[in-house]
Structure 1
Amino acid sequence: MNKILCALLLMFTVPAAGQYRSKVWCADNGDGTYVNPVLNADYSDPDVVAVGDDYYLTSSSFNCVPGLPILHSRDLVNWELIGHALDRVWPDSLFSGAPAHGKGVWAPSIRYYKGEYLIYWGDPDQGVFMVKAKNPRGPWEPPVLVIRGKGIIDTTPLWDDDGRCYMVNGWANSRSRFASVITVREMNADGTRAISDPVIVFDGNGTENRTCEGPKFYKRDGWYWIWCPAGGVTSGFQLALRARSPYGPYEAKKVLAQGNTTVNGPHQGAWVHTKYGEDWFLHFQDKGAYGRVVHLQPVTWKDNWPVIGRVPRQGYCGEPYLSYRKPKSVSSQIVTPEETDAFDLPRLGLQWQWQSNYEPWFGMPTSLGFFRLFTFKGNDNFWFTPNLLLQKTPSDSFTATAKLKLISKENNQLGGLIMMGKDYTALVVKRVGEGFVLQQMTCKDADKGHAATVTLLADLPKTGQDDNDYQFAIHEEIYLRMRVDKGIVRFAFSRNGKQFTETGTPFTMREGKWIGAKIGFVAQEPQGNSNRGWLDIDRFDITNNL
């Protein structure tokens, strides 16, 4: 009886914050120093706000739902995923059904103003949106369309000392057919609508500052600052622009570049001034299939210019540190975003996202110790499947092991593990007649609509069946494993969770549309005209490579 009561208590109690520490990546060395990246996962275009001893980070989420992740830290090194600010991406007509890859939430900014947290972002097809909350853990109010129009991205507000509000933004060439300019416009006092037309305040066309974008707006000691990247995502650098007026004219200097380091394209992020008088900069590095990971650099002021990272003997362009002392803080807690999931709570873990706006028939949490993912009618290309249950890759090298049961009511229903991107591979169990087969499904150029190549790996006798004939199903319990190292995926499977057999063909990971490759689960049925089957996911464990 005591064991039953303890199990029930664990099932319905949310774990205390700060209990999770990744087995595959932790930036805190435990000796007052840290290593970069501080977030070795795809939190692209990060922005951060400081409120006392607390820091809150959000990032691009594009079409992934829930969107606008909210992470909390007390020292800028240790981060915990505490929620999302966006339950659904607007409008439903675009983000329900087939996934709208690469659309939606681009490069948000988070600010704290008059007791409220506000997040602005540019949807390149719709315009500028804003959500707000009194508590960053939520609830967040429904999004408001602040400025309607195509091509407006990378938006940041600035409330001036006199209460006037200005907004800076970049432009998406794919929608507006021009780019490499930074514009500023005035907003009303509460930042809910524009009251002036945009003004170009910086032009990177025809210079090394091409593709200037991702601007963030600040004010310091009477100077207006726009920090923005230029030169391209993988090969670019960080600029700092300063002026005495929000409309300029702005002077510009390069303040961070790759230099002799391995940190390519270090740019686009957040300048943070702490309550301890320190200045720091969080930026991303594009790591290809692993996405855009987050680094932390100190900021040193030199002749009223911010030098980011290692200060050069001459000039103002710093280089990234791979390791450095931690920011001053009252916290000694070591915590990382969750990855492993026992599915013991009647809610979905915060690390999981769908490819499109969620519907209950995608899948549901249970109070029974597993998550149920329903088979979804689809074709032979998972790029168009909205109910893939996915999370970010947590490190360059890791092993993911899942304990699964496929409940199949009709022939050809399938489910299993997937590494999803423009190219993808999946290890799935599929019903064939009165038994199952194990197969690898690999698709090259999935984003172009290509069909997957299917390789039969093993025959699997069923491990169980329903006790009665009503909507009769047969069962397959199995452990599936994915080992990732240096961008290569290898599979294995087990009948008992102890002895694993390597199987399938190694696969080279590839990024998605503006996001890194993601790992997770697929459940599908090609016909889609029968009773749904489902994949009961009992555990998902992230460990060091085994």
Structure 2
Amino acid sequence: MNFKKLLSIFTLTVIALQLNAQPWNADLGNGKYKNPILFADYSDPDVCRVGDDYYMTASSFNCSPGLPVLHSKDLVNWKLIGYALPEVYPLDHFSTPQHGNGVWAPSIRYHNNELYIYWGDPDFGIYMVKTQNPQGPWSEPVLVKEGKGLIDPCPIWTKDGKAYLSYAFAGSRAGAKTVILMTEMTPNGTKTIGNSVLVFDGHNGHTTCEGTKFYQHGDYYYIMAPAGGVKPGWQLALRSKNIWGPYEMKVVLHQGDTNINGPHQGALVVQENGDSWFYHFQDRWAYGRIVHLQPVTWVDGWPIPGVDSNKDGIGEPVSEWIKPTVGQNYPATPLVTTDEFNSHEWGLQWQWHANPSVYFGYMSANLGYLRLNCIQQPDDYVSLWQLPNLFLQKFPAPDFTATTKLTFRNHEEGDRTGLLLMGEDYAYIGLQQVDGKLKLIHSTCTDARKGGKEVVNQSIDMDQQEIYFRVTVKHIPDSPEHDATAQFSYSLNGKRFNNFGPAFKPRAGRWIGAKMGLFASSPIRTNDCGYADVDWFRVE
């Protein structure tokens, strides 16, 4: 057997082992799936069909790259294939962390052999990018409609060649909310034209209606829109035979007698065979907004997701269901979280907390590790909340363990690196140069968004620079806020791990779930900074 064939077999074996080690798999392998289909923070998901392929995008807020693009053949197993927004626009504005700002509630649509994604930035307006290749590159963003507080847009192209856009308001910027508007666009979808009109007012019992998704099905135009707020909300459907309205409304999905809070804001997908499905999120606090898939039954022309188990005329989420019929069985493909850093590119699961600079981190020339530089902290440094160079990925499951091996080359006083759980509260285990000595430290910060400062909980001298860090996250059963607990540990040989620091309760960031990953920083600017060489990062 030749070398290339052996290498190919080895590579496939490694990939298989990595997939098998993933902590969450919605595909039950018996023709059924369980919810959530993605136990990861793909907030405000939207999905469109292109033939027998399906593409998903989601909110990414300030994280860069933004607008994740996922692909599926069976609506259950999804693979992250790229990002539509390599950097968040405007570029300079997002060169520093803008927590909770940026890319809100995108929609993805297929038109004239191109994929389009529209999203609202609450501070700048409604943007659009497009491509003929879902893996990219995508076009540079076009500002379709400028204005503060314009969010949650969705386009529709009608059979007469016209284009329209639905959207909503962010009350924090616009001073108004709970209404849905619609406007015409130029046929190429790059600019709005004419007046916007009110198509739904939710002030009578459906506050914070937003998250619009526009469809045409049969004789009706439909606008799907959530209401009631992120965690306790429900899903509305609006319909009209005239695109300008008037629209009638029905609540089509709610928590009902289930334990799935706030099921709403997602995508209605109709297969070629006519079967219909609905994607939505469930906000799980520190875990973020995870993605569920519901079967849809059409009742008197209304799409009813889930199952109306209590006979109130409104769908309720299912926890398990038969997989969609797609003509063949596709293998389970859990989202990849482990990274061996053995390529010239790091894995697509990683994002920075702001638009990155090339000196934040890079792969090694001999393809064996990731180098993270100890970038200088801002002069007014209070906490990691201010740093753009946080190298992070989403929580992948209710229970998981993340382990990393790194070597720290500290140069200056205060240089540090570590394994981090990041949110409005955060914690890390790391190495830091203190008074000329290398220390192993465990630190936490409470209310970072409000200016909270770090507290060092435990510190010991360390006499070696190569180290293994680990964090074990476990959900707390029956917690009303889906709480979790995390325990950090370290090892000097990769075999025996010692707990270090107190248990920590992860907390969500601003509109995003808690994230895990790596960082390196320094209070000092130098012309040859310290660095951490990360050998691998493994999640199971």
Work out which of the residue numbers 295, 298, 302 in structure 2 matches 1:301: 298
Secondary structure of the residue aligned to 1:513 is coil
How is 1:165-184 mapped onto 2 (pairs within 5 angstroms)?
Answer: 165-184=163-182
The alpha carbon displacement at 1:18 in A equals 12
The alpha carbon displacement at 1:456 in A equals 3.1
- Identity fraction in percent: 48
User: Which whole-Å CA distance do the structure 1 matches of 2:51 and 2:3 have between them?
Assistant: 42
Look up the match of 1:419: 421
- 1:286 equivalent to 2:283? Answer yes
Q: Which amino acid aligns with 2:466?
A: E
Contact 1:157–1:217 (8 Å) recurs in 2: yes
User: Which whole-Å CA distance do the structure 2 matches of 1:448 and 1:342 have between them?
Assistant: 36
Change (3 A) 1:453 1:16: closer
Deviates more, 1:374-383 or 1:179-188: 374-383
User: Which whole-Å CA distance do the structure 2 matches of 1:31 and 1:432 have between them?
Assistant: 55
User: Which whole-Å CA distance do the structure 2 matches of 1:132 and 1:482 have between them?
Assistant: 39
The alpha carbon displacement at 1:332 in A equals 2.2
Change (3 A) 1:17 1:182: farther
Provide, for residues 190-219 of structure 1, a one-character-per-residue CA deviation record: whole Å limited to 9, x for no partner.
1110111211110011x2201001010001
How is 1:5-404 mapped onto 2 (pairs within 5 angstroms)?
Answer: 20-21=19-20, 23-96=22-95, 98-205=96-203, 207-312=204-309, 314-329=311-326, 330-366=328-364, 367-378=366-377, 379-404=381-406
The alpha carbon displacement at 1:368 in A equals 2.8
TM (norm. structure 2) is 0.94
User: Which whole-Å CA distance do the structure 2 matches of 1:457 and 1:4 have between them?
Assistant: 48
Work out which of the residue numbers 506, 512, 519 in structure 1 matches 2:503: 506
User: Which whole-Å CA distance do the structure 2 matches of 1:78 and 1:214 have between them?
Assistant: 24
Secondary structure of the residue aligned to 2:501 is strand
Gap runs ≥5 in structure 2: 476-483
The alpha carbon displacement at 1:458 in A equals 2.0
The alpha carbon displacement at 1:527 in A equals 2.0
Provide, for residues 41-60 of structure 1, a one-character-per-residue CA deviation record: whole Å limited to 9, x for no partner.
00000000111111100000
Provide, for residues 229-278 of structure 1, a one-character-per-residue CA deviation record: whole Å limited to 9, x for no partner.
01111111001111111121111111100011110000000000011210
Look up the match of 1:522: 519
Q: Which amino acid aligns with 2:525?
A: G
Contact 1:22–1:336 (8 Å) recurs in 2: no
The alpha carbon displacement at 1:8 in A equals 12
User: Which whole-Å CA distance do the structure 2 matches of 1:227 and 1:525 have between them?
Assistant: 48
Contact 2:180–2:200 (8 Å) recurs in 1: yes
Look up the match of 1:479: 468
Provide, for residues 491-541 of structure 1, a one-character-per-residue CA deviation record: whole Å limited to 9, x for no partner.
110000000111101111110011000000010111224521111111111
Q: Which amino acid aligns with 1:392?
A: K
User: Which whole-Å CA distance do the structure 2 matches of 1:313 and 1:527 have between them?
Assistant: 62
CA RMSD across the alignment: 2.0
TM (norm. structure 1) is 0.93
The alpha carbon displacement at 1:222 in A equals 1.9
Q: Which amino acid aligns with 1:224?
A: Y
Look up the match of 1:442: 444
Change (3 A) 1:22 1:183: farther
Contact 1:300–1:311 (8 Å) recurs in 2: no
Change (3 A) 1:203 1:134: same
Contact 2:156–2:165 (8 Å) recurs in 1: yes
The alpha carbon displacement at 1:482 in A equals 0.3
User: Which whole-Å CA distance do the structure 2 matches of 1:6 and 1:406 have between them?
Assistant: 34
Q: Which amino acid aligns with 2:56?
A: L
The alpha carbon displacement at 1:184 in A equals 0.4
User: Which whole-Å CA distance do the structure 2 matches of 1:39 and 1:71 have between them?
Assistant: 11
User: Which whole-Å CA distance do the structure 1 matches of 2:222 and 2:43 have between them?
Assistant: 22
Change (3 A) 1:10 1:140: farther
User: Which whole-Å CA distance do the structure 1 matches of 2:367 and 2:436 have between them?
Assistant: 27
Provide, for residues 80-110 of structure 1, a one-character-per-residue CA deviation record: whole Å limited to 9, x for no partner.
11100101111122101x2011111100000
Q: How many residues align?
A: 525
User: Which whole-Å CA distance do the structure 2 matches of 1:127 and 1:277 have between them?
Assistant: 35
Secondary structure of the residue aligned to 1:373 is strand
The alpha carbon displacement at 1:19 in A equals 7.7
